[in-house]
Amino acid sequence: MLDTNLTGALLGIRGTAPSMRKAGGGVVVNVNSIGGLTAAPGLVAYSSSKWALRGLMRAAAKELARDNIRVNSVHPGIIGTPLAYAPDGSELVPVADFAIPRQATPDEIAGFILFAASDEARFATGAEILADGGFMLGPRRLTLRKVGL
């Protein structure tokens, strides 16, 4: 998990930064996850690697900014791919109570990545773009017990 989610990103940045410097600048966009912003049972290795990716992104953003290289991350929520479903076809993370009660499409997340890489985001570095359908807001239907005064 660490090799894929952290070491791969580090090697990618190290491998491309010299070319970006020669070109006068560039953009790195790391695809992170809501798992890098919160914890979930059973996902210790995944969440740890994504939290570490946040640190890498911020350190690289600071180190490379003077070379006109921006480094940002996109944090997708649940995306409608086979990975979002159990073998029986049920959603691994039910989205009915999200603020936007559906899974994202891969194209929607690609749009966030394209924005982060574009000149429209030229003043952003070290930024974390949340694309989660409101997952981090918590459930829409929150039942609170009334307390009388």
Catalytic residue among 25, 46, 67, 110: 46
Whether 85 is catalytic: no
Residue 147 above 90 pLDDT?
Answer: no
> Given this structure, which CATH class describes domain 2-10+26-133?
alpha beta
The domain ranges of the chain are: 2-10+26-133
- CB contact at 8 A, 134 and 79: no
Region 109-134: mean pLDDT is: 98
Residue 148 above 80 pLDDT?
Answer: no
User: In whole numbers, what is the pLDDT of the chain averaged over residues?
Assistant: 94
Beta bridge partners of 75: 130
Residue 128 above 60 pLDDT?
Answer: yes
Distance, CA of 27 to CA of 95 (rounded, Å): 32
Predicted pLDDT at 52: 97
